[in-house]
Amino acid sequence: MTTIPRATTYTLRIVRLATEKGLRPVWGQPYGHTTRIVLNAPGPHDAFGGITVGRTSGRVLRAEVIPYSGATPRRAEGAAAVRALLDSLPRAVCPADCPADSPADCR
């Protein structure tokens, strides 16, 4: 995991939480005044999405996470809400070649 030069301690804790959940966060390229942290768990029934971070402030602004393929996207505004969203997700345990038809069967 690489970091951007101005990530706050709270932002780094959120990235660490995403890592602990198995979401494989990766810093994306800067775009305008933001940078995106891409989330991509390995299995077809695991979460993916992204966290938007202020490019100069290093603060978490918002996130959009899709808990599993075909699920309704979940959005959060602000660092505390993003942390709560990540806390509510189960740990990614689905293998990349999972044959299950649904996330419930995979777990």
First-to-last CA distance in the chain?
27
- For residue range 50-102, list pLDDT tens digits in order: 999 998 899 999 999 988 777 899 999 999 999 999 999 887 777 767 777 76
CA 75 – CA 4 distance, rounded (Å): 23
Q: Where are the domains of the chain?
A: 9-91
pTM value > 0.75: yes
